[in-house]
């Protein structure tokens, strides 16, 4: 096996195994930072040995066994063998004896509880949102600090610092490696879903710069969402978020033109929508609805996305259903952005006049100050009402406000189109 082939194989194994490895080790040694170090040590050993020996038959179990050996060595050599570590050595030794014959089976985490614990830990509310994102992508997504830095357009050292600081915070705050108690589950799950959706959105609509879409981040978020749906199948919002992401991702191919310019939903070539992802999204939504619990914000947003996905042509869109879903969303998760979207839907369902009244009310909303979609939507409604001059001014304002180069080009194009 050549050096490069082995390296690539090891990288692939690492991507598959690292999350479970770190999760299992965290459970054993009780400390995330130490667990990650041990896992990395095992990886180094693999990089030394596998190019010669080939990848072992059960690479995950091999890495776990190696990491545990390292842990034992480390603790035995440690001069300060305190009681806690003594217990640990005993436990590890007992495990080695009892596990060796059935290593694979015993290392299995069939319910995936360790992985779930790790997800909840990485998205713990004591951490800053940036830290949660970095830790989640690194521990659960198997991304390197370099990859995370590239995706978020920040220096590698920033990502590394975030990760180190996050691990320190978890330790200092004595965050246990446990599933949240039922009383906290809702809130903690919301934090996890928030992190995954943030990663998705970062990929779906880059906030600044030229790239309108960074699809790899979308894929990473989707994968996390799929993992969560398998680990927490009884939580409707988990399926709701997955449905929302699958359906939005189905349009990735269609939302950029030949020159990379953004194409809005109503103008997209629906033949280029990814039917497999739509199918998966609708199935995830159906699963969420089948749990017969009140629909949360992700489920409602997914249901809205599903209305678009089901429409074979823009004219077939069921705007009245979308208005009703936005009504429900505005009730449980009121926000000016939801109101703005609701206004757009009302414009499509009942005409631009009704919508313009709502948008004008929203113009006074401080939270929407500087939000480029507000003038963009207003411009669209004005153009439909034949008030071209005003429409043009709104599109100009929107173009001035957006931070995305691509969106600016699109908005300036609209400025030109109404002037004619």
Give the footprint of other proteins on this chain (CB under 8 A): 8-9, 11-13, 15-16, 55, 59, 112, 142, 219, 222-227, 230-231, 253, 257-259, 269-272, 276-277, 279-280, 312-316
CA dihedral 116, 107, 68, 51 (to 10 degrees): -100
- Alpha-carbon distance of 143 to 235, in angstroms, equals 27
Which C-beta is closer to other proteins: that of 202 or that of 339?
202
Neighbouring C-beta atoms of residue 75, cutoff 10 Å: 17
- Give the shortest CB-219-to-other proteins separation in angstroms: 6
Among 281, 283, 252, residue whose Cα is nearest residue 269 = 252
- Give the shortest CB-245-to-other proteins separation in angstroms: 11
Which C-beta is closer to other proteins: that of 213 or that of 356?
213
Angle between helices 145-152 and 182-204 (to 10 degrees): 60
- Give the shortest CB-137-to-other proteins separation in angstroms: 12
- Give the shortest CB-277-to-other proteins separation in angstroms: 8
Angle between helices 156-172 and 32-53 (to 10 degrees): 130
- Alpha-carbon distance of 282 to 260, in angstroms, equals 28
Which C-beta is closer to other proteins: that of 225 or that of 347?
225
Which C-beta is closer to other proteins: that of 59 or that of 375?
59
Residue spans of alpha helices (H) in 211-335: 215-231, 236-249, 275-290, 297-310, 319-332
Which C-beta is closer to other proteins: that of 156 or that of 231?
231
Which C-beta is closer to other proteins: that of 150 or that of 387?
150
Residue spans of alpha helices (H) in 311-402: 319-332, 336-350, 352-362, 373-384, 388-401
- Give the shortest CB-204-to-other proteins separation in angstroms: 16
- Give the shortest CB-225-to-other proteins separation in angstroms: 7
Which C-beta is closer to other proteins: that of 90 or that of 312?
312
- Give the shortest CB-331-to-other proteins separation in angstroms: 32
List Cα–Cα distances, 25 to 118, 164, 194, 293, in angstroms: 11, 18, 26, 36
Which C-beta is closer to other proteins: that of 145 or that of 402?
145
Among 192, 225, 191, 207, residue whose Cα is nearest residue 152 = 207
Three-class SS state of 176: coil
List Cα–Cα distances, 39 to 1, 71, 195, in angstroms: 23, 10, 24
- Give the shortest CB-274-to-other proteins separation in angstroms: 9
- Alpha-carbon distance of 29 to 177, in angstroms, equals 10
Q: How far, rounded to the nearest angstrom, does the alpha carbon of residue 43 sit from its chain's CA centroid?
A: 26
Which C-beta is closer to other proteins: that of 8 or that of 419?
8
- Give the shortest CB-68-to-other proteins separation in angstroms: 21
Element (H, E) at 302: helix 297-310
């Amino acid at each position: 096996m050549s050096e490069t082939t082995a390296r690539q194989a090891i990288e692939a194994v690492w991507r598959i195994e690292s999350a479970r490895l770190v999760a299992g080790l965290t459970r054993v040694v009780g400390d995330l930072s130490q667990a990650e170090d041990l896992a990395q040590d095992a990886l180094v050993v693999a990089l030394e040995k596998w190019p010669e020996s080939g990848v072992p038959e059960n690479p995950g179990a091999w890495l776990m066994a190696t990491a545990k050996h390292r842990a034992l060595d480390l603790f035995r050599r440690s001069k300060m063998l305190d009681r806690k570590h003594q217990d640990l050595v005993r436990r590890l030794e007992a495990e080695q004896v009892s596990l060796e014959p059935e290593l694979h089976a015993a290392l299995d985490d069939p319910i995936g509880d360790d992985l779930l614990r790790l997800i909840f830990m990485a998205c713990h509310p004591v951490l800053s949102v940036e830290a949660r994102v970095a830790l989640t992508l690194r521990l659960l997504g198997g991304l390197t600090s370099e990859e995370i830095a590239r995706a978020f357009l920040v220096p590698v050292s920033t990502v590394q610092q975030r990760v180190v600081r996050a691990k320190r915070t978890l330790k200092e705050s004595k965050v246990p490696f446990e599933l949240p108690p039922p009383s906290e589950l809702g809130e903690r799950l919301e934090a996890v879903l928030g992190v995954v959706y943030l990663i998705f959105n970062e990929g779906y609509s880059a906030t600044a710069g030229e790239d309108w879409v960074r699809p790899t981040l979308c894929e990473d978020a989707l994968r996390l969402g799929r993992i969560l749906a398998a680990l927490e199948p009884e939580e409707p919002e988990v399926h709701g978020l997955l449905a929302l992401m699958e359906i939005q991702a189905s349009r990735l191919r269609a939302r950029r033109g030949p020159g990379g310019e953004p194409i809005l939903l109503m103008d997209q070539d629906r033949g280029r929508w990814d039917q497999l992802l739509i199918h998966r999204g609708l199935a995830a939504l159906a699963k969420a609805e089948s749990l017969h619990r009140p629909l949360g914000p992700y489920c409602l947003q997914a249901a809205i996305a599903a209305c678009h996905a089901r429409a074979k042509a823009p004219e077939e869109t069921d705007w009245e259903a979308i208005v009703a879903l936005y009504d429900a969303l505005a009730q449980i998760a009121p926000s000016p952005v939801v109101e703005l979207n609701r206004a757009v839907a009302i414009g499509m369902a009942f005409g631009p006049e009704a919508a313009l009244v709502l948008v004008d009310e929203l113009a006074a909303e401080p939270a929407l100050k500087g939000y480029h979609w507000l003038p963009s939507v207003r411009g669209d409604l004005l153009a439909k009402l034949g008030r071209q001059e005003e429409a043009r001014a709104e599109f100009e304002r929107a173009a001035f406000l957006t931070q995305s180069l691509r969106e600016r080009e699109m908005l300036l194009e609209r400025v030109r189109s109404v002037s004619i």
